[in-house]
Amino acid sequence: MEISRRHFLNSSAAVLAAGVMPHGRVWGANEKIGVCVVGVNGRGGSHIEGFTKSPDSEVVALCDVDARVLERVAKQVEKETGKKPKTYRDMREAFADPEVDAVSIATPNHWHTLAAVWAAQAGKHVYVEKPATHNIYEGQQLVAAAEKYNVVIQHGTQSRSDKQWLRDIALLQSGEIIGPLYMARGLGYKNGNRGSIGNEPDSDAPATLDWDLWQGPASRKPFNKMYHPYNWHWFWHWGNGEIGNQGIHQLDIAAWGMNRGLPVRVDSVGGRYTYEDAGETPNTNVATFIYEDGTMLVFEVRNRWTNDEGGRMLGDKFAGGVGVGNLFYGDGGYYVQDQGFFDTKNNPIPVDATKYPFPESKGCWQNFLEAVKANDKTKVYGDMKAAHVSSGMAHLAGISYRLGTSLKFDPKTETFTGGPSEANAMLTREYAKGFEVPKLA
């Protein structure tokens, strides 16, 4: 059964406006958490797979603004599970459903924060895709929502649940293997996979797509088939470029390892090279972040043809470099993803697994579900404070790139100091009426 939008507004709007629906339930060992996946095309398929395969959850509902996609995916879920999920076009109706305990958000970036806040206000636990926010203001509100509402909110940066990274980040932060860190590098090299999207005129939206709901918090623009279903990533109005797409995973790891919060300076340069199209975000980009103590983080996007970084001879064998990954540098050596630690003379530093064992982790979906079952925010792998830092760094890089200048930033007030007057205005956006991200902080 589908709940009408009128019913939702009548039954739940007052509760949402007042603050939060109560949610203090702890599940029994054999009880399943009812999950609604919002945004079922593309990445949403991985969410559905993760939650249908877990013994602790059941996908009870799907939500998507494209009726054609919604029907197709609902049939797939029914075929695979033997049970047809409820379907919704408007996420607010799904959030009013008492059978929905948790919401998994796989919408375009510009929807992530508002969807997460609405869900939290409705008493639903939240798994929100990366980047958790579309701008700095949204990060502030999402951190506040995670603190205010009695729900679990986890960021979709799966590396936070990876056993290798959980151990190695702890070692990097401790300085035990290669000493104190002075620099991290994050790499997002898609090696030519991001080709031209061309130029297309505006047109009518497909009849099955609710274009108004798809736009949600964003100020209104005419439909263009370049935006839907994927290439919205390359337009600032909807997305955050490659640094906020694939790159946010590696940027999050780099920021996690450095463990210094937001930077005091950002300088982001690059361009859209080798073709001309309507895309706005750079396909080649170097963003440099300087922290208050002078250490640094460098992130590189290379979406055209390129070599990898960090390849080397190890004995008589060549170890391939990193294209999508991370490197860290300390005063006693360096670290290359998938290769390990090296000393100042390029010799591998073996890590004793008995002394430094891998911590327990059951993967991003199960870790989230176990935090939900315990109703324990401390069990979250990738909380909203961490999400705000890594997502926020992507946003700072985007602002520096768009303004064409290096910018000074105050991480305490989270505002720019000096520089172009329009920089601080770009920390938030103009919201569509009825879809404003509420000020909670």
- In this prediction, residue 24 carries a pLDDT of 62
Residue 320 confidence class, pLDDT cut points 50, 70, 90: confident
Q: How much of the chain exceeds pLDDT 90, in percent?
A: 89
Fold of 161-359+392-425: Dihydrodipicolinate Reductase; domain 2 (3.30.360)
Q: Hunting for tokens 């919060």 — which residue is that?
A: 261
* 278, pLDDT greater than 70: yes
b/e 317-330 (16+ beta carbons within 10 angstroms → b):
eebebbbbbbbbbb
* 266, pLDDT greater than 80: yes
* 293, pLDDT greater than 90: yes
Using one digit for the tens of pLDDT, what is the confidence trace for 142-201? 999 999 999 999 999 999 999 999 999 999 999 999 999 999 999 999 987 899 999 999
Give the pLDDT mean for 348-359: 95
Q: Is the dihedral of CA 46, 157, 129, 231 positive or negative?
A: negative
**DSSP-derived pairing of the beta strands 102-105 and 33-38:** parallel
Task: State how far the Cα of 344 lies from the Cα of 354, in Å rounded to an integer.
Answer: 25
- In this prediction, residue 21 carries a pLDDT of 40
- In this prediction, residue 256 carries a pLDDT of 98
SS3 state at 296 = strand
Is the CB of residue 105 less than 8 Å from the CB of residue 119?
yes
Task: Tell me which DSSP letter residue 217 carries.
Answer: T
**CATH node for 5-158+364-383:** 3.40.50.720
Using one digit for the tens of pLDDT, what is the confidence trace for 6-59? 433 333 333 333 333 445 677 777 899 999 999 999 999 999 999 999 999 999
Type and span of the H or E element at 189: strand 181-189
What is the number of H-type helices and E-type strands within the chain? 12, 18
- Among 3-7, 232-236, 381-385, the minimum mean pLDDT is found in 3-7
Record the pTM. 0.93
- Is 5-158+364-383's fold the same as 161-359+392-425's? no
Give phi and psi for 409, each to the nearest 5. -135, 140
Q: Which of 227, 235, 346, 225 is nearest to 280 (CA)?
A: 235
- How is the chain split into domains, by residue range? 5-158+364-383, 161-359+392-425
- In this prediction, residue 432 carries a pLDDT of 98
